[in-house]
Amino acid sequence: MRLADFILRDMERILAQWEAFAVTLLPAAANMDSLALRDHARPLLEAMAADLSTPQTRRAQSQKAKGRAPQVADAPHTAAQTHAILRARSGFDIIQLVAEYRALRASVLQLWMDGGAPEAPHVDDIIRFNEAIDQAIAESIRSFSAEVERERNLFLGMLGHDMRSPLQTLHATASLLARMNAGEGVAVAANRLIRTGARMQALLDDLSDFNRTELGLGIRIAPTGIDLAAVFADETDQLRAAHPDCQIVLEAPTSLPGVWDGPRLQQVLANLVVNAIRYGAHDMPVRVVMTGDQTQVRFEVRNAGPAIEPALLPRIFDPLQRGPEAGARKGFNLGLGLYIAREIAAAHGGTIDVRSDAQETVFTVSLPRQAVTQRALQ
């Protein structure tokens, strides 16, 4: 008996073995009924049987063995993809998901050999069944990973939303304590709470921005007419107050007018300057150099100190990247500062680049005089 015919004839026995294995995948399977344990197994096996019965070219065989079978028209999700999404939502991990397919492969072939295969089973059936299993695994892993990523982003979004209210309460209470004139001890403690709350708020803002970009929404900007030189002078003063032991020098023309989101560009400057303070030479100044012409402005953040490793440069703007000495430095960060700086520059229609050698490290941001409005409206 050919394998496709055997799968359709003995479907119930195969499903029973699938269920018997799935119930061992704890803790996710602990409270699942038979229907949930067999989720999409029948249409998955029916699709494999149909595939085994369909003529196949060498190219199609090669593509399927690599997990690249063409998507069926008008079918946004295959049975394998839907199965993976539901398993992710049920709390299975990716190892358990793949284990289901390994067990299915073994049980189908063993049952076929024991009860339905001829003395000389068709080798092509075995090859094509393995290809079909590999294709299903590839589809499942892609969909499982995408679902896990989606749920993670939704969790981050909810976390960011829910944390804002208690943080605002903390800040308001600490500010009230600072104004009560209840003694130096209370004032010092209140100011410490204010600084800690501000740091937590900055981390939360980074997390929210990262979450928006991961959901494909991009960084939201609201461009207005501003003088970027004045905006950066104000931000530089705030950075000096926050880092009194560091020398921060601003070199800027008298005025740099344009249409940008001022607070967002202050965020870019702050991220780049704090990064320079964290990784640069502590006895040398961090320099912010601003220039511009009729169509574009540019600002650079320069610091002396150890060069960035060449292997790190191509991925330095990737999210969740932190320098090798980040854990030993004072303060805490999520490794999102440079990534968010790049996304803010991109939202304005600009770019950000970096170069680094033994003399200095330079981050350069280039912006058009007027932000790109279609990104601004997101």
Residue 57 CB neighbour total at 10 angstroms: 8
Whether the per-residue pLDDT at 63 is higher than 80: the answer is no
Beta strand pairing status for 224-227 and 257-260?
antiparallel
With a CB cutoff of 8 Å and minimum separation 6, the contacts of 76 are none
Architecture of the domain defined by 224-376: 2-Layer Sandwich (3.30)
pLDDT band at 124 (very low <50, low <70, confident <90, very high): confident
With a CB cutoff of 8 Å and minimum separation 6, the contacts of 288 are 232, 236, 248, 249, 250, 251, 252, 269, 273, 299, 300, 301, 302
With a CB cutoff of 8 Å and minimum separation 6, the contacts of 171 are 193, 194, 197, 198, 201
pLDDT in tens, 158-167: 666 566 667 7
Host H or E run for residue 224:
strand 224-227
Whether the per-residue pLDDT at 89 is higher than 80: the answer is yes
Angular region, 345: left φ>0, alpha ψ -120 to 50, beta rest: alpha
pLDDT in tens, 280-333: 998 899 999 999 998 999 999 999 999 988 888 888 888 766 555 544 444 445
Amino acid at 91: G
Amino acid at 129: F
Whether the per-residue pLDDT at 191 is higher than 80: the answer is no
Task: Assess contact for 271 and 340: CB atoms under 8 A.
Answer: yes
> DSSP labels for 252-305?
--S--EEEE-HHHHHHHHHHHHHHHHHHS-TTS-EEEEEEE-SSEEEEEEEE-S
Architecture of the domain defined by 3-153: Orthogonal Bundle (1.10)
Q: Residue 322 corresponds to which tokens in the numbers above?
A: 């932190």
Task: Assess contact for 231 and 245: CB atoms under 8 A.
Answer: no
Domain limits of the chain?
A: 3-153, 164-214, 224-376
Residue keyed to tokens 């320099």? 287
pTM of the model: 0.54
